[in-house]
Amino acid sequence: MGEIASSTRMAWVLGAAAVAAFLGPASAAGPAKAEDPAAAIELAPHRAIYDLKLGESRGKRSLEAVRGRIVYDFAGSVCEGYALQFRQVTELDTGEGNSALSDLRSTSWEAGAAEQLRFDSQNYLDRKLVETVDGRADKGPDGVTVTLAKPKESKLDIGSAVFPSEHMRRIIAAARAGETLLELTIYDGSESGDKVYNSLTVIGRRIGPSEQPPTDAAAGKAAIAGLARWPVTISYFDRSKSGGEQTPVYAIGFEAYENGVVRALVLDYGDFTVAGDLTSLEMKDVKPCDR
């Protein structure tokens, strides 16, 4: 069930925050500068719950049903860094009494200026631990250096890349600027901690605060009632595979508010999609920075 294991990526893609530059497609990773549009974006601490169900079943792996839940607990500020606790439990029913239960648990912390990422995740399949990743990534003038403690001790230089939280912030900056495409190289510590992905983000038409009112848990929330949102689709490509037309190894669609709250999830694992309905949203108090 590698498709479910790869959902570690989503733990950071779903709106974790850091100050980072929006420098356009395929730009180098570096600390945010005061003049960068992304530096002015404030993302809101919040706790969101998404109930999961089968969207489409296609290809060779036919599914009868998907049941599950995502708990996404995001806290912190640009001054103290941003912490994320994430858990996704998913049961896949292939019919005839066959099912598989995946339980992904992860925590991460990213520095406010996006110069460091710490990550720790465990993936269980049918209640048995099958994958553990623990490490950190540090950004320097020559690119990103990754130091892993698990699954085995190792160190690698991966060149220029942005962290997933940077990516989200750049997406919002790009959306505000009217951009529709964003290409960046991403490192997030997912899978065995040694994967690097090229990403293509497609940003749809702006949805104003009074347009298409949400009917899920986002409805009636004062913290987002006056905010615009955009439909976004992010496709990930394995950077180690080059040449020819590539197929994404994973894609995620959602609507992103200007403060980083996300609704209307669609997780695309290739052979099937999973829809995530926002069933609970708790906005947290923002701790002011001591500047």
% of the chain surpassing 70 pLDDT:
84
Residue-level pLDDT at 28: 32
pLDDT band of residue 242 (cuts 50, 70, 90) is low
Start-end of H helices in the chain: 2-5, 10-13, 164-176, 222-225
**More confident site: 106 or 250:** 106
Tell me: pLDDT of 8 over 50: no
Average pLDDT over residues 80-87: 89
Burial class (CB in 10 A: 0-12, 13-18, 19+), 245: exposed
End-to-end CA distance of the chain: 47
**More confident site: 19 or 136:** 136
Residue-level pLDDT at 59: 67
Residue-level pLDDT at 20: 24
CB 248 within 8 A of CB 237: yes
Residue-level pLDDT at 15: 28
Residue-level pLDDT at 85: 94
pTM exceeds 0.85: no
pLDDT digits (tens, 9 = 90+) for 122-166: 999 999 999 999 999 999 999 999 999 999 999 999 999 988 777
Which DSSP category does 175 fall into? H
204, 288, 198, 215: which is closest to 254 by C-alpha? Answer: 204
**Cα–Cα dist 149/96, whole Å:** 41
**Cα–Cα dist 200/247, whole Å:** 12
Tell me: pLDDT of 170 over 60: yes
201: left (phi over 0), alpha (psi -120 to 50) or beta: beta
**Cα–Cα dist 92/99, whole Å:** 5
Residue-level pLDDT at 21: 21
CB 121 within 8 A of CB 189: yes
Q: Where are the domains of the chain?
A: 2-283
Residue-level pLDDT at 12: 34
Q: Name the token pair of 236.
A: 């990930």
Residue-level pLDDT at 35: 57
